Amino acid sequence: MNIGVLGGTFDPIHYGHLLLARQAKEQFHLNKVLFVPTFIPPHKRERPDLAPADDRFAMARLAVKADPSFEVSRIELDRGDVSYTIDTVRSLRQQYAQDRLFLIIGADSFKELPTWRKGDEIRRLATLVVAPREGLAALKDQGPAVLRIEMPCCPISSTEIKIRLRSGESLGAMLPPEVEQYIRQKRLYAAEVL
């Protein structure tokens, strides 16, 4: 099987994440895409506005429930501590020993890969699937273990969603209605305006 792995804070998960997963699934014939919410992201350790991990996990499950080929993994949440991609890829490589792993990341993350813990080992254990990001040059040929997703840059961002929530603006079609309802019921991000 071909297994896609899409990690992130998913704070909150939105249609951009889902579009990315669908495009990767279709273009690279993935049988399954695992959404992996981080417990503590190494580059965002001091984020007081980060929603609790269990809430981010619950929102991701709501967002993917309509697609049986999408699954949300607790691998990083159950591990606890700072979430390093290499630890997750190693664990998934053991769990899916007979399968091919495709790590789905944005061009911005790919550019930073040399600074990641064991970035070279990540490249050996998983095929990288890189999505375009606005403002970054096109991905040059990186060899057979790096694939480019052909899709437009997605203008939706979790930061923009939080800004809109805090100011009371409509979220429009930025995230699934079940996720917005969860945010409002749990009073996440800006309780005083929800």
pLDDT tens for each residue of 80-115: 888 899 999 999 999 999 999 999 999 888 999 999
- CATH classification of 2-189, choosing from 3.40.50.10110, 3.40.50.620, 3.40.366.10, 3.40.50.300? 3.40.50.620
- pLDDT of res. 137: 47
SS (H, E, C) 112-131: HHHHCCCHHHHHHHCEEEEE
- Confirm whether pTM is higher than 0.85: yes
The full set of domain ranges for the chain reads 2-189
Q: Decide if pLDDT at 192 tops 80.
A: no
| 135-163 per-position pLDDT tens digit | 544 455 555 568 999 888 888 889 899 98
3-class state of residue 177 by DSSP: helix
Report whether pLDDT(134) > 90. Answer: no
pLDDT at 191 over 60: no
Residue 143's pLDDT is 54
Contact 96, 5 (CB under 8 A): no
